[in-house]
Structure 1
């Protein structure tokens, strides 16, 4: 599938409403057909919400410090699975001087157990993804397919310097080695998505830059039908 570049007055891919100057915009994405939506550079005309089919799973991926957790906290009102939240809960319950490396396996186990519980419930879910663990996306895609639901990708395209600054602002960073792994994995994911090659089992992808992500007020799941594509 070729990348569909979004502009305010042009025809758009299936499952998306074109932006209208001066009017609020809502994107509705369903599992009827694969689609890639590029919202980078659309600060003035980008959507204020992304709506998916109930029961579907949305993966939010990008560099550490790129704004994934911030976007999830601000825009998602339903179930949201973020490993950082699990880490924060454990850190609050344990002595402050205890190194994270000592209890990291427990945090990861608790995170995936929580994710599994949400998946078993059949509820819609937004899942934080660091970009390097492809097996997680494959697992989510397999689970969605077994339940007749769809997996979607929200991919934040943020430059490494901005991501590093985001890490400093939140007071938590990753090592140079780990960040290099993240950069490689996320760059490849962005490159493949731009070419229309989505991760296995993923039915749609939305490319966001920092500005487009900041413009989003809501990521939700509705029963609405996708509006027909309109010609400009």
Structure 2
């Protein structure tokens, strides 16, 4: 017969189940593998995956190429708004509306209960906390894919897409991303993450599929 381990509290004497410690997050470093990293990453059917890194590091490119299931990309949201907004109107004026639309789309995607890949800009840690809570609620896991590229590479990526961020914003992203990379390298991903994977540009380019499987 299976028995649940129990203990008695010192103050009340009430017997309660012993809580099993949460498993330590898995950290995988796929950098410096000369493009010979895995071609496919598979996750559980209800898992959530966050892709983060510097602006221009290749997050949206990776998502468009490799994600076979639902995805929520803030860049897609901005592109839709840009297409129907007067060209002379500065993005800063309608950026709050783009963000609201992005988060509304993320909420709709989460309500389906399916696995979702989410583009995270990195400077909004509350989004990862939201996703961690949702993963726990659905009995699934939250996974972090972190693109670690040099600032010069990210800037070149911005130039290639014809859209950059201000020097001030880029400094914020650099500080936030550097702290996140250091934490993952130390085996301490953000709270709630079941796993974290570090990718450089060759490792990201080698990926051809990010999928959710039963």
What is the TM-score with the length of structure 1 in the denominator?
A: 0.81
Aligned length: 193
Equivalent residue, structure 2, for 1:191? 182
1:34 Cα deviation from its structure 2 partner:
2.4
**Counterpart Cα distance in 2 of 1:113 and 1:154:** 22
Equivalent residue, structure 2, for 1:35? 26
Q: Secondary structure at the match of 2:191?
A: coil
Equivalent residue, structure 1, for 2:87? 96
Matched, 1:118 2:119: no
- 1:70-93 deviation per Cα after TM superposition (whole angstroms, max 9, x unaligned): 000100021111111001101111
Q: Secondary structure at the match of 1:158?
A: coil
The within-5 A match list for 1:151-230 is 151-223=142-214
1:32 Cα deviation from its structure 2 partner:
7.3
Question: Which 4+ residue blocks in structure 1 deviate beyond 6 angstroms?
Answer: none
1:198 Cα deviation from its structure 2 partner:
0.9
Equivalent residue, structure 2, for 1:140? 131
- 1:131-181 deviation per Cα after TM superposition (whole angstroms, max 9, x unaligned): 111110001001110111110000001000000010011011111110000
Matched, 1:131 2:155: no
Equivalent residue, structure 1, for 2:59? 68
Structure ID, larger Rg: 2
**Counterpart Cα distance in 1 of 2:36 and 2:77:** 35
Alpha-carbon spacing, 1:62–1:138, altered in 2? closer, same or farther (3 Å): same
**Counterpart Cα distance in 1 of 2:81 and 2:121:** 19
Q: Secondary structure at the match of 1:154?
A: strand
Please point out which of 93, 96, 101 is paired with 1:105: 96
**Counterpart Cα distance in 2 of 1:183 and 1:33:** 27
Q: Secondary structure at the match of 1:58?
A: strand
**Counterpart Cα distance in 1 of 2:210 and 2:100:** 27
Equivalent residue, structure 2, for 1:58? 49
Contact 1:43 1:215 in 2 (8 A): no
The answer for unaligned runs of 5 or more in structure 1 is: 1-30, 224-232
